[in-house]
């Protein structure tokens, strides 16, 4: 069991809050400081994005943070260097999230090993095909104790969701709608029907809902149906403020009063 598994296993009635942010943004060396601040503010786990030049699943806010991070000099090598002493400062479960090409250039096996060395618990690579994970990379993930997180959208078929459930070892990342990141979510009846449909499938993995979660209301409504929810763009937008450090407790507080 890694930290992610333990978190969900022991969560009780809590609504799990995860925060996504881009490594190397707003400044190259802000990555671990932000993690520490988020832990203090009461966040349950973190998704640290490693930037890519062509983030097709992302809306303008995360595109911008990725561009800035690359401009600041962030690479996977730099990130793993920054995370070397992560576990002296932060105890939260941590996932790395990004696109497949930087991982391929780094080397998938080597990437998994580096994750383990710095204490990363799981990985989200939305454009890594399921078949390639199954055929080529699963042993590298498992040997290094990494959860590979798959996404599910309202259009994902039931058979595919069952297959994803069988392959998942951390949680299932349920997209609130088929959309790029950063669209504010208005929870509609359709969406609640979709959340209930997934809940009623009684999957073996916990569910966390992401994309469009930006307010307390959306967080609560999402976690009425799921174990947790993920806030990304809304937090990345906060980081654009020069005094973001002081604002983190208040921002997190709105979700966890």
> Quick check: 236 and 21 in contact, CB under 8 A?
yes
Nearer to other proteins, 3 or 64 (CB): 64
47 is catalytic: yes
Q: Which of 28, 41, 57, 118 binds other proteins (CB under 8 A)?
A: 57
Nearest distance from C-beta of residue 60 to other proteins, angstroms: 7
Query: What is the per-residue binding string for other proteins in 78-117, x denoting contact by CB under 8 A?
Result: ---------------------xxxxxxxx-----------
Nearest distance from C-beta of residue 56 to other proteins, angstroms: 4
Q: Based on the shown chain and the rule CB under 8 A, indicate whether residue 166 belongs to the binding site for other proteins.
A: no
Nearer to other proteins, 113 or 154 (CB): 154
Q: Based on the shown chain and the rule CB under 8 A, indicate whether residue 179 belongs to the binding site for other proteins.
A: yes
200 is catalytic: no
- The count of chain residues that interact with other proteins, using the rule CB under 8 A, is 42
Structure tokens at 172: 């299932």
> Quick check: 239 and 21 in contact, CB under 8 A?
yes
Q: Which of 72, 75, 215, 254 binds other proteins (CB under 8 A)?
A: 75
Nearer to other proteins, 94 or 161 (CB): 161
Residues carrying an active site annotation:
47, 58
Residues that bind other proteins (CB under 8 A): 52-60, 63, 67, 70, 75-77, 99-106, 126-129, 131-132, 150-153, 155-157, 160, 175, 178-180, 183
């Amino acid at each position: 069991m890694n930290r992610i598994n333990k978190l969900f296993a022991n969560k009780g009635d809590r609504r799990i809050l995860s925060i996504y942010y881009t490594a190397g943004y707003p400044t190259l060396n802000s990555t671990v400081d932000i993690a520490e601040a988020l832990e203090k503010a009461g966040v349950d786990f973190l998704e640290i994005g490693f930037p890519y030049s062509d983030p097709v699943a992302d809306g303008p806010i995360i595109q911008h943070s990725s561009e800035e991070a690359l401009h600041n000099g962030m690479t996977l090598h730099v990130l793993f260097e920054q995370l070397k002493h992560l576990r002296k400062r932060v105890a939260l479960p941590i996932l790395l999230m990004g696109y497949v090409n930087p991982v391929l250039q780094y080397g998938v096996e080597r990437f998994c090993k580096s994750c383990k060395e710095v204490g990363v618990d799981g990985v989200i690579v939305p454009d890594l095909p399921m078949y390639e994970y199954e055929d080529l990379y699963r042993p590298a993930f498992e040997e290094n104790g990494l959860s590979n997180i798959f996404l599910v959208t309202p259009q994902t078929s039931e058979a595919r969701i069952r297959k994803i459930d069988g392959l998942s070892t951390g949680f299932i990342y349920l997209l609130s709608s088929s959309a790029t990141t950063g669209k504010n979510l208005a929870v509609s009846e359709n969406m609640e029907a979709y959340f209930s449909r997934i809940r009623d499938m009684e999957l073996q993995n916990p569910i966390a809902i992401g994309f469009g979660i930006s307010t307390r209301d959306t967080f609560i409504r999402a976690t009425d149906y799921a174990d947790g929810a993920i806030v990304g763009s809304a937090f990345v937008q906060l980081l654009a403020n020069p005094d973001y450090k002081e604002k983190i407790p208040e921002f997190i507080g709105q979700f966890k009063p």
